[in-house]
Amino acid sequence: MSVPTPHIKAKPEDFAPTVLMPGDPLRSRFIAETFLEDAVLVNNVRGVQGYTGTYKGKKVSVMASGMGMPSMGIYSYELFNFFGVENIIRIGSAGAMHADIPLRSLVIGMSASYNSKFADQYQLPGVYAPTASFTMLRNAVDTAEKMGLDYRVGNILSNDLFYDDGNRGLEWQKMGVLAVEMEAAALYMNAARAGKNALAICTISDNIVTGEECSAEDRQNSFTHMMELALTIA
């Protein structure tokens, strides 16, 4: 496939080596307007806003992924394979699976379990375990420590279902899974296949056990610790 692609109307040089990927296009715009200098809109196909600017003198891009593994699968695949992007940091929301994980704390995804058929395409003779880039993971943990952030590191669940017929995946709680989101596993698999790097940093927007939750406006605009952490390691 040549560029521009059906989903990204840009040139490879329009993107920085590292792209931050929130799910929400409005969060992408918020990051660009709040944190980046000289931010330029480089993609707006289907309203999936992508910007490139500088953060503390370094070129950084931010572009939305949309919701779910299929959407993340499309955008991260194209960025890795057609636009020369080397690193993608997912910054999104997640639902805590344990009562002692508070709202607005961070979960850094060391690995991502999933209930999707996404990995079937690789025709592997077993079950694949998607993991983050260790270099990016270590950098994120070290930086979170220096910033004094409330964070946890571990396994997260990428769930194909937001509304399900049961209990939103709490069966995974007994295996130590920290939180549930919808995109990280696809990102990690695309990165592995392309020989690139990926990490998911999520802010807890709701707690499935306690029933606490943040508002939609909070999710869009107030998760700044996650954003600053990702920008710093970018």
Of 150, 160, 206, 218, the catalytic one is: 206
What is the 8-class DSSP label of residue 129? -
Strands 50-55 and 151-158: unpaired
How far apart are alpha carbons 92 and 24 in whole angstroms?
Answer: 8
Catalytic status, residue 142: no
Strands 50-55 and 37-43: antiparallel
Identify the CA nearest to 107 among candidates 148, 149, 164.
Answer: 149
Q: Produce one character per residue of 119-143: b if its CB has 16 or more CB atoms within 10 Å, e if not.
A: beeeeeeeeeebbbbeebbebbbeb
Active site residue ranges = 206
